[in-house]
Structure 1
């Protein structure tokens, strides 16, 4: 399918629209929606790897996700009561063989639809998923080249409203003079496929934070990548958002833990609820302190003094120390909070007779604690190096 020129859409010919260095981004072009198709319950991609992305045809050079017609077109109007985030995630899940409508995703996630919760939900359903902060356009293209759908956080109005979209392809339009690089994505708010110049997309992506509408939390050029069962994705990167991740995990843990505590099935469900609530509290307190007393003010002040001679050399190292403290608090609280949740999950699995699942959860809890130790030491060392560089960067 020619995703770059969907259903006969012809590009505008005026050269002034492709003078990307001098023009303010315009609204992306709406293109017609493909039929609402998805994988049937009999179809499965389990145990397979994504095929390579398909080549673009007719006057363009580039690639697009393979078999894009198997991704249903969902929107706020057609998503059955789901949010735009759940519509986007449902499109990706269906494309990868997991039948989960937006309403079910909203119920599973609750109101706290932070990146880590989306990634966890995907992993819980057998789909490898990783988040990447401070990503590059070449990294994004690389995932599309491998046939993996990318959920990118963008803002088309410079951060006033943020959203998440499914990036479906990229290429070069040789029909324009000069040729224009572009990116295509599927919009879960409007239920349309969009094609925008690459430079516009880069601006949207830089301003999109995590795709949520409330405030800036240190995310920039953020993307979540999903693969079918068995896919091997590079390790994720949450540099600069460790404390906020712990805070959002805490809110999620408290909500879900309380629900299990009140409505869980049997001893295992209630025990899981207790431990998940405790873990959520650890995440919330540690992440909240790290973010609001460390990372958030440090990143804000550092941005304000950037480029001011001498002042930046004095202020930035202080901000680096504050930022590092917040980051380490986030690492530690997230590790311990998640470990409590995993132990609770293990108890619930054992009580339900799932011995292998319970054992896996216990191993996960140990991995969480080990990761917390390694990440906190690594982030502390990295923060010290950054502070030294800022002090001597005359």
Structure 2
């Protein structure tokens, strides 16, 4: 990790944990065989993949045959949503999601809408939470899928997943959650929560980019979207990313061991950052909900331009929204849905901390933000 950079953009990606890297390196070098090969070398690698699959599945209390490896949560979301749409279209063509979802879900649903499906995009309260009464009102007998993000990537808001799943199931619909910002940070039991489909990415939890997974509850039907060899139960054809799978397994193992410790350490840092920055004039927290992940703070610096602030902070990495759409010069759709004006959305910064952050990182960021937002500061 670049020690010179104060990296507070962990919701966009995380550095690879050195122990994760150590676990995956042998599978980039000596243990390179294709796990689908029938020779002994290939089958020995296949056995390692099976062990990794079992460990990752156990991490969310799933069966190993319910886990499909993908390149990440975006691909997993596409496979899940499109797969459900095609498999259950005889029952209905109505899908429910939320206006604050990640673009991977929103754009997939919009694509289905163009193809004749009906999509309801639920609004959110000022807190960022959905109104369960609105969901109850929107769901219908022909609703086939309800998809609600577990933890919002921009604000950290945690939705009431178990209650949402119950509402979906009571009407005979499947429930999916994009848990990219939750897996590795929160304990997740897919059976207790009633989740039918869950997706996540390794690079949000100290594994490399290019590996993710989709949990598919047994007996949930999905029409295949990627053909060519029948890998991953026919749902995701293509040679498995063995180094990535091994890395994801190790990341899950470490998260399981260190989750409480990480939560305590990171939440203290986040709370310090938040408390100090909110002392500044014309600042406010975007989401005052108690249901918020412990590593994320989204703060509006009224009257400022977030992009300008980011550009003036050398060796500090923070963001003004989702990294997946940051190239687009428009206000955050998440903050807009929560009732912020365009100007206030453009004035908002997201700080997302990780397990490698230190108090020095936090104090440096606090000091720099204070300097940049003071009225008499010389920007020259």
- Flag the structure with more relative contact order, 1 or 2, with Cα contacts below 8 A and sequence separation at least 6: 2
Do Structure 1 and Structure 2 share a fold, with TM-score over 0.5? no
Q: What TM-score, normalized to structure 2? A: 0.30
Which structure has the greater CA radius of gyration? 1
Q: What TM-score, normalized to structure 1? A: 0.29
